[in-house]
Amino acid sequence: MNKQIEEIVGKTQKVNRLDEQGCTSEVSQIITDKGCYLLKSSFEGKYREWLMNEGQVLEKLNHNNQIPVPKYYGFIEERDSSHLIMSFEDGITLTSALNNTMDITEKNSLIRSFGHLLNCLHETQTIESLNHKNDWLTEQLRKAEFYVKSDQTEGSWKQLQKLMLNKPLPVQQVMIHGDCTTDNVLVVNGEVRLFIDVAGMTIGDPRYDESLAIRSFMGNEVYINAFYEGYKRYKVSKEEFQYFDKGLYEFF
Ligand SMILES: Nc1ncnc2c1ncn2[C@@H]1O[C@H](COP(=O)(O)OP(=O)(O)OP(=O)(O)O)[C@@H](O)[C@H]1O
Ligand SMILES: [Mg+2]
């Protein structure tokens, strides 16, 4: 194990590469004489930058007990890779939890608790250190433009122009996750308890989270209803859902 990593986590006893790997990183569980950690490593420009952002968010949240996320332990940059160390959390992603059960009542209860957790995040007091200068959507469109120009996205220039010209009317900005799919929340004891993959957590448009949260339930009215039993703030319109999920999300 890398020396700098061991300075943080202690002497390695075992490294387990996780079965569930992310798309932009490699994740392993590290067991040491001090405890159990999650090592998340990235190797490419854009993904290393996201990983660094994730580290900064987790570090700022270390002393916040309103938003449930893993605990931050350290971030290390090497020549060709970046590594984030956080607490290893016992839990499985909501995607896996939903795949693991055929029981509709259990599925509904999981989805309802996802809605509830997101509702809590959107209602929580905003954290000024996670704020940014410009309007969130303007900033996302600017990033998208950069990714198009540097050929780092599947989204097209034409699609982006459409998004720039058709911004939805603004709503109150709140704490958002920024990539709130069923892959990025963990289930513990039958409840969605924790946010992971928090590089995009900031003050922004709650409709983006809401749209990504329900994207895998679209077309299933029962699941959508279960989500909104937990998420009580506001229902995105079909147009808003299209804008955020089919539109903006394509660029990230
Ligand atoms: N703190 C943690 N404790 C336990 N398991 C974790 C933790 N963080 C992540 N995992 C596991 O690792 C997997 C990948 O993590 P994550 O979603 O952060 O990376 P990613 O998907 O590569 O990121 P991205 O969405 O940017 O591609 C998760 O699906 C989850 O199973
Ligand atoms: Mg992820």
Mean pLDDT for the chain overall: 96
Among residues 60, 57, 55, 61, the alpha carbon closest in space to that of 86 is found at: 55
**pLDDT for res 130:** 95
Which ligand places an atom closest to the C-alpha of 27?
A: 1
Residues with CB under 6 A from ligand 1: 18, 20, 22-25, 27, 38, 40, 50, 70, 86-89, 93, 183-184, 196-197
Task: Using the mean position of ligand 2's atoms as its centre, give its distance from the Cα of residue 44 in Å.
Answer: 16
Mutate to test the pocket of ligand 1, among 16, 40, 44 (most ligand atoms within 8 A of CB): 40
- Alpha-carbon distance of 212 to 194, in angstroms, equals 16
The domain locations on the chain are 3-87, 92-251
pLDDT in tens, 34-87: 999 999 999 998 999 999 999 999 999 999 999 999 999 999 999 999 999 999
**Which ligand 1 atom is the nearest neighbour of the CA of 199?**
26
What does the chain look like in DSSP terms, one character per residue? --HHHHHHH-SEEEEEE-SS--SS-EEEEEEESS-EEEEEEE-SHHHHHHHHHHHHHHHHHTT--SS--PPEEEEEE-SS-EEEEEE----EEHHHHHHH---HHHHHHHHHHHHHHHHHHHHSPP-GGG--SS-HHHHHHHHHHHHHHTT--SS-HHHHHHHHHTPPPP---EEE-SS-SGGGEEEETTEEEEE---TT-EEE-HHHHHHHHHGGGTT-HHHHHHHHHH--S----HHHHIIIIIIGGGG-
**pLDDT for res 47:** 95
pLDDT in tens, 211-231: 999 999 999 999 999 999 999
Mutate to test the pocket of ligand 1, among 186, 197, 252 (most ligand atoms within 8 A of CB): 197
CATH code assigned to 92-251? 3.90.1200.10
Level-2 CATH architecture, domain 3-87: 2-Layer Sandwich (3.30)
**pLDDT for res 61:** 97
Q: Residue 91 has which token pair?
A: 């839990």
- pLDDT band at residue 30, thresholds of 50, 70 and 90? very high
Residue nearest to atom 21 of ligand 1 (CA): 22
Mutate to test the pocket of ligand 1, among 25, 30, 52 (most ligand atoms within 8 A of CB): 25
